[in-house]
Amino acid sequence: MKTPDTEFPVLAFVDIETTGSNFDRDRITEIGIKTLANGQECAWECLVDPQTFIPQASRD
């Protein structure tokens, strides 16, 4: 069975890391984007200075 010649749209996945989940208080610390176009992956990431305290990960 032959598969149809379908061109898929470009996909982009965005990941944002923050100092927490409070909109008024917390800030972005890292942004990452990964795209998939024509079977090719491309990744980009950037650290951001949130100009605020970054809490350590909680340890359970």
pTM assigned to the model: 0.72
Rounded CA-CA distance 19/27 in Å is 6
Looking at residue 6, its pLDDT comes to 66
pLDDT tens by residue, 5-40: 667 899 999 999 998 888 898 999 999 999 999 889
| Nearest by Cα to 32 from 21, 41, 23 | 41
How far is the C-alpha of 17 from the C-alpha of 14, rounded, in Å? 10
Residue partners of 8: CB distance under 8 A and separation at least 6? none
Q: Are the C-beta atoms of 35 and 24 separated by less than 8 Å?
A: no
Cα Dmax for the chain: 58
